[in-house]
Amino acid sequence: MSFTLDPANASDVQFVQSILAVLAQALFQKTQLDRIEQKLDAAALQEQHDMAQLDDELTSLTTTVASNTTVIASGAAMISGFSAQLAAAIAAAQAAGATPAQLSAVTDLQTALDTNNATLTAAIASNTPVATEIPPAQAQALARKIRG
């Protein structure tokens, strides 16, 4: 299909101008859409980077907490073990004929050790938050909030 335009005909000129205007508008909108798409791609890449960094930090924190838990448990076991050794030594001394008066300093030390161990264990338990799982959407919102 072909047709001929007459440049002297005002309606033909107006028709071509309106087509050119529509094409220019479409090109402008395409450019805007391309910029929006580029910004969305950049935001998605940044989010992936941020989530990977957050994952790394969470892994590091989990490792630190596990290490601290092991150290705390080892400390509590050491205190309990020392208390048990004191109890065995007191029992052996009593079996060998030591009197309660002679052993009072050692039994007082064992009592103080047991009390301090109970206090430490209670303090750790009361100051250790209960682990809660954060839903992924909430974690992402928190990450965005932290980024500012």
For the chain, the structural domain boundaries read 10-147
Please tell me the distance from the alpha carbon of residue 75 to that of residue 124, in angstroms, as a whole number: 12
Residue that has been written with the tokens 């161990």 in this structure: 117
Residuewise pLDDT in 10s, the chain (148 residues): 676 777 777 787 888 888 888 888 988 898 999 999 999 999 999 888 888 888 888 888 888 877 777 777 777 777 778 888 888 888 999 999 999 899 898 899 889 888 888 888 888 778 777 767 777 788 778 777 777 6
Q: Decide: 132 and 109 in contact? Cβ < 8 Å.
A: no
Tokens of 13: 């000129």
Q: Decide: 43 and 147 in contact? Cβ < 8 Å.
A: no
Residues with Cβ within 8 Å of residue 117, at least 6 apart in sequence: 76, 79, 80, 83
pTM (predicted TM-score) = 0.42
